Structures are given as structure tokens and as C-alpha cells.
Amino acid sequence: MMSRDQLEKLLKLNGLEPTAKDEEIKSILLSARYNNDEVDTAIMILRENVNSHKTKVDGLHKVFRTDTALNSAEISSLLGIDVDLEHHVNAGASARQFTIMSQTILFLISIIIGIVGVLVYMYIFHIGIFHPSSAIAAPLLK
């Protein structure tokens, strides 16, 4: 694993500061026989903010390992942008709520569809009120 101290020492031995351009750092690291993935990782380590590294790691642990919410400072450090959350969205507000009227209409429609389905089934197979011996069905089936 690469550490920031090792990379800074390598760059100082080659006459570069850690704040040098990425191309210069890349050429030094490639000449030191680092592969492209290692060079990219090294540049990321050098460009990382030393002070906020702990906050970033804690924020990532909080995102992936807990169910707690992040505050705006943690979101800002993870995204690298300024985030200002002035209002909080209620978790229940995004859930769909059925009113009493819509529940009643849904109930009535399901009952009507059920009754029509049973009547169609009875008519197709001539059972129940649609049986030929039934007094109701005799006029309907002739």
C-alpha cells in the first residue's frame, strides 16, 4: 500500500514538490516503474486533503454500514461540493397514501369485478342460476 510520505520522499529525491503538475509527477512515477493504475492511485493520494481524510472515511462508513442520515457537512466532504440542506424531507411524505374515498372505490370495483366474473363462469358452464333446470335460466337459455 502506498503512503503519502513515501510518495513525497520519492518526488523530493527527483527534485519535484508534491504540488507539481500531474504530468510531471506521472513521468517521475513511470520512470520509477510504477504501472498506470499505481500512478493514478498515487496522484489521488497526493491530491487528497490530509485534514479531511478521516472525515471522508467516517462518512463512507456511515453511508455503507449504518442506517443513520448524513449531515450537510459530511455530504459536502464526500461529494467535494458545498451542500446546504435547509429543509428535511419527511420519510413518510414520499410514501403513497390512499384516502378513504379511494379505498372505498377500489373495494367496490373489486367486488363488482368478482361478481361479474362468477356470473360469466356460471353462464359459460351452465351451472347455478344458469342451469337448464333453473326457473331463472329457462327463458335465457332457449
Cell numbers placing 60: 463512507
Distance CA 118, CA 10 (A): 83
Residue 106, all three cell numbers:
377500489
Other residues' Cβ atoms within 10 Å of the Cβ of residue 61: 10
Q: What is the pLDDT of residue 55?
A: 45
Across the chain, which has 142 residues, the per-10-residue mean pLDDT values are 81 86 87 85 76 54 62 68 64 70 95 97 89 71 58
3-state secondary structure of 97: coil
In eight-state DSSP terms, residue 32 is T
- The confidence score (pLDDT) of residue 80 equals 65
DSSP 8-state symbol, 133: T
Q: CA–CA separation, 71 vs 88, rounded Å?
A: 11
Per-residue confidence (pLDDT) for residue 7, from 0 to 100: 85
Q: What angle do CA 124, 128, 134 make, to 5 degrees?
A: 105
The pLDDT of residue 6 is 85
In 3D, which of 55, 48, 51 has the Cα closest to residue 18? 48
Q: Residue 50's pLDDT is what?
A: 63
Neighbouring residues of 73: CB distance < 8 A, sequence distance ≥ 6: 55
Helix, strand or coil, per DSSP, at residue 18: coil
Q: Nearest Cα to 19, choosing from 43, 35, 38?
A: 43
8 A C-beta contact, residue 140 and residue 130: yes
